[in-house]
Amino acid sequence: MFPQLNPFAAALAVSATAAATMTSTAIDTLGYDWATIDVTASTQSASTAAGGPSILKIQESDSTSATTFVDIVGFRGGSATATNVDFVVAIGSTALNNAYKFNVDCRGRKRYLSAVASPTTTQTFTVMVNLGRGEQSPSTATKAGVLNLVEG
């Protein structure tokens, strides 16, 4: 049996200017055990910490209201370590897109997740999410949410 995956586009090609905030749409995790959230950012202005996102984090909420989302401890990235930063955002590339991955255990979490980024220069962000249930597998294309389900 294959684990069930549900690809979910949380935000596509969202552009954020310097010091602005990009927030993905709410990711509904109801019924799923884990989420893999891939955030891709366009090239940055300099290959230094000052050239990349100053904030890169995952938030959670029991509601889709933007004002109810709170940071998840362990998933708060920034340009420098501080009491509210869990990791330093890696230095990105000026020639290639920059990719960041968050693997989130959804058990015991609030229902909705959201990716948040704040670039130091204008960047375009793409957020892709795969939601999974450990021991369940779709048996039809409709249940998998795709046009064709091919297994082997």
User: pLDDT per residue over 95-149, tens digit each?
Assistant: 888 899 999 999 999 999 999 999 888 888 889 998 887 666 667 777 766 777 7
Tokens of 151: 């297994």
Can you give the pLDDT at residue 137?
63
Q: Which of 63, 88, 90, 66 is nearest to 78 (CA)?
A: 88
- The domain over range 4-135 is classified in CATH as 3.90.1150.10: no
Question: Containing H/E element for 88?
Answer: strand 87-88
Q: Determine how β-strand 98-105 pairs with β-strand 112-119.
A: unpaired
Q: What is the pTM of this model?
A: 0.81
Interval 45-91: pLDDT, tens: 777 666 778 899 999 999 988 889 999 999 999 987 778 899 988 88
Give the start-to-end residue ranges of the domains of the chain: 4-135
